[in-house]
Homo-oligomer: A and B are copies of this chain.
Amino acid sequence: MADLKAGVNQLFLREEELRTGMELLFYAYREFTAEPDEILEQYGFGRAHHRVIYFVGRYPKITVSELLAILKITKQSLSRVLGELVRQGFILQQTGVRDRRQRLLELTEKGNELERQLSETQRQRIARAYRMVGAEAVEGFRKVMLGMLEESDRAKFTPLAPPRLTAVKR
């Protein structure tokens, strides 16, 4: 009887625990994007612009196809926002030297400023959370999040750092 009760209770805890995880992800993601969204609005941009700016800032000289592989959207979708960002002087395209078909993407100074402005609130939000809980909890957070990723995405984080794109011919 005691065993049965414990079992049921654990089942309940488990179910509740999993739901909590799902909801934490939902609420956290929404609040994580809320502040940048407001800033973007002032520029007539949306979340898609933010993502492009972020990853171009993260990986200077990234090619269009590498960016597509990260974002997992179609080139038509990317083209729309990337085109706006280039035309409005936030991103610079340089023809590749090794392969002149490639357009290597980079943030301009203007683009860099916007990137910093957009990500600042997010960095602060994470920094605040990290500070609140201590290094051990942060490590736990990192582990759980990694555990939720597919192998392919997980690879991007393996050494815990240097921003290198997966070995792609450049």
Q: Which residues of A contact B (CB under 8 A)?
A: 14, 16-32, 51, 54, 58, 72, 119, 122-123, 125-130, 132-133, 136-150, 153, 156-157, 160-161, 163
Contact = CB atoms under 8 A, between A and B. Distances in A.
A51 to B, nearest CB: 8
Contacts of A22: 32, 54, 119, 122-123, 126
Interface of A is mostly: helix
6 contacts: A24-B149, A31-B150, A128-B148, A129-B144, A137-B144, A141-B143
B133 A148 contact: no
A6 B48 CA distance: 37
A78 to B, nearest CB: 15
B21 A126 contact: yes
A125 B147 CA distance: 8
A127 B28 contact: no
Given A21-B141, A133-B143, 10 more contacts: A18-B126, A20-B160, A24-B142, A24-B149, A25-B145, A31-B148, A32-B148, A136-B136, A140-B140, A141-B145
Contacts of A132: 143, 147
